[in-house]
Every structure is written in structure tokens, then in C-alpha cells.
Amino acid sequence: MDYNGSPSHMNVLRENIKDLIVFTDLDGTLLDHDTYSFDEAMPALNRLRKLGIPVIPTTSKTFAELEVLLQELDMMSPVIVENGGVIAIPISNDSPTSPQQHRIGDFNLSHTTVDYTSIIEVLKNIRAKYHLKFRGFNDMDVAEISEITGLNFEKAENAKKRLCSEPLIWVDSDKNLNKFENELKRYHLSMTQGGRFWHVMGEASKSKAMKEVVEIYQRKLGENLTVIALGDNANDISMLKSADIGVVIRRKDQSCLSFESGNKIYTSSLSGPAGWNAFFMHFLDNYPTS
Ligand SMILES: [Mg+2]
């Protein structure tokens, strides 16, 4: 594990260890890029669970995918899905409800941005106007999504249940990609890069949604929280930069995200869930909770 923090920063962490809150990207970070397995992260996940430290999935995945994943992880927690476009809070979490929220299963969902139908409409218009070549999930059937992502049919079906963002594969030139991005801005849409896809969405980000969830925990636990965020791709930069501690998880090809940041950034030596696990084992070993 490489890290570059100052000793004084570590002392601050030691005092605050009981009020840690973790925001984690999924694909390529907590989940293996190819197999989507989180097995290698289980030791650390169990340790965090025993300590009562919240782990908030913060992902480009859909709410439908997260409902299944939370069951697999045997976890109940808020989730940030579709790159920050939707925040879902367990209803048992005594969360206030508002007219902007709607209920699905055991969760209240807040949409922070424009809906999926509007995004698809804009994409159709831009494509027709400039003859651009891209394929979004809306253009694909479930079998094609399954083939591209490696998800089984049922999981691919859940990945297609979008609320406010569209993953797409760009098959046109870089020059046209710039044109596309500029055109999206005219409609107040933006684009961010994940592990496999570009994601088109409204003016949402993982960091904006993360701040909202931090505020919920601050109301419950007090102001003094230390926020750790983990991620592996460009769509994670905003949350890695706004957390107290950002953890860049190395990719399978050994490359890793690089960016300027004023805060503390660790980079994992191992990739994916093994790197995730190693970070927390090291971190919790060095910053005891009592
Ligand atoms: Mg990722």
C-alpha cells in the first residue's frame, strides 16, 4: 500500500475513527471488473460491519441492480446509484420523506436530476442531427447488454432499468465525441467515463450525492465524520477529491487513476476487491478503534 499522508493527519484520523463513513464505487473497486465478485473484500467488509462503520455503495449501476447486490452482501444501507442521479435511503433509516421522493420496496428514492425518458429524447435528437455513431442501453436488448457486460441475463435486465442516466459505447471519432459532449451541455446534460461505458446524465455527480448522504449521517451522528471514498475511474474523481481520504483502487492492467487533489489520496497496490480489502485491513490495523 502506498500512501503519502502526514503524521499530523494520521493523529486526526485516530481521534475520529469511530465516526468513519465509507463511500465505495462498485465495478472495478469493490467488485472484480470481470467477474463482479466481492469475495476478496469480505474480510474487510466483515470487519467494517462489526465496527458499525457504514459502507455506502456509490455507483453507475441501477437501483434494481443494487437491490439484488445488497441482498448478496447481506447489507442494508443507503445507496447512490446511476452516478449520483438517485439516492435511495432505507425507509427504516428514519429518513424524512419529501414530494421529490418515491418508494420502491424498502427504500425512498430521491432523484437529483432529469429523468431517463428526457435523456433518451435528447440523445435521439443529437444522433439524428449529426449522424453520430454510438450505442446506448436503450438501443440494446438484454442479450446484448449481457454480452457486453458479462452480466447474466437477469442482472443485465436489472442494468437496463435506468432512471436517470444512459451508459453508451462510443463508436465514432474523438472529434465527434467532443462535438457530442458540447451538444449535451446545451441540454444541461453531462458525460462521465466509467470502466466500460460513457454515462450520459443530468447535472449529477457522485460527490454531490455523497455530500447529501453525509449530511443525513451528520444529523444522526454529529458533524465530526471522517469520509473515506474509494474508486477506480474518472467518474469517481469528484468523490475521491471531496472525501477526507480518497483511495484509488488499481485496475487489473495495473494502471491507476491519476489526478491533482488537495486532500489525501492513497493508491492500492492490489487491484479491485483485493486492493479494497488490503486498504481497510491496513487502515484498521493502524488506526485502532479504542
Ligand atoms: Mg469503477
Which of 19, 25, 32, 115 is catalytic? The answer is: 25
Contact 164, 111 (CB under 8 A): yes
- Least confident among 19-28, 167-176, 220-229: 220-229
The model carries a pTM of 0.88
Contact 97, 90 (CB under 8 A): no
Q: Summarize the confidence of residues 255-264 as an average pLDDT.
A: 87
Question: What is the C-alpha to C-alpha distance for residues 243 and 271, in angstroms, rounded to an integer?
Answer: 21
| Bridge partners for 135 per DSSP | 169
Can you name the CATH fold of 7-112+205-286? Rossmann fold (3.40.50)
Domain boundaries, the chain: 7-112+205-286, 116-201
pLDDT at 97: 59
Q: How close is the Cα of 98 to the center of ligand 1, in Å?
A: 31
Can you name the CATH fold of 116-201? Threonyl-tRNA Synthetase; Chain A, domain 2 (3.30.980)
> What is the rounded (10 degree) CA torsion for 86, 205, 79, 17?
-150
For the segment 65-111, what is each residue's pLDDT rounded down to a tens digit? 999 999 999 999 999 999 999 999 998 755 555 656 788 888 999 98
Return mean pLDDT, the chain: 89
Is the confidence at residue 260, as pLDDT, over 90?
A: no
**If DSSP codes are grouped into helix, strand and coil, which group holds residue 103?**
strand
Q: How close is the Cα of 286 to the center of ligand 1, in Å?
A: 26
| CA gyration radius, the chain | 19
Cell numbers that stand for 86 in this block: 438517485
Question: What is the C-alpha to C-alpha distance for residues 52 and 18, in angstroms, rounded to an integer?
Answer: 9
Is the confidence at residue 4, as pLDDT, over 80?
A: no
**If DSSP codes are grouped into helix, strand and coil, which group holds residue 269?**
strand
Q: How close is the Cα of 80 to the center of ligand 1, in Å?
A: 13
Q: How close is the Cα of 59 to the center of ligand 1, in Å?
A: 8
Q: How close is the Cα of 32 to the center of ligand 1, in Å?
A: 9
Q: What percent of the chain has pLDDT over 70?
A: 90
Question: Would you call 139 a catalytic residue per the annotation?
Answer: no
Question: What is the C-alpha to C-alpha distance for residues 229 and 146, in angstroms, rounded to an integer?
Answer: 29
For the segment 120-171, what is each residue's pLDDT rounded down to a tens digit? 999 999 999 999 999 999 999 999 999 999 999 999 999 999 999 999 999 9
Q: What percent of the chain has pLDDT over 90?
A: 77
> What is the rounded (10 degree) CA torsion for 71, 64, 191, 170?
100
Is the confidence at residue 277, as pLDDT, over 90?
A: yes
CB atoms within 10 A of CB 256: 16
Contact 200, 232 (CB under 8 A): no
Q: How close is the Cα of 262 to the center of ligand 1, in Å?
A: 22
- Domain 7-112+205-286 matches domain 116-201 at the CATH topology level: no
CB atoms within 10 A of CB 222: 9
The one-letter code for the residue type at 40 is E
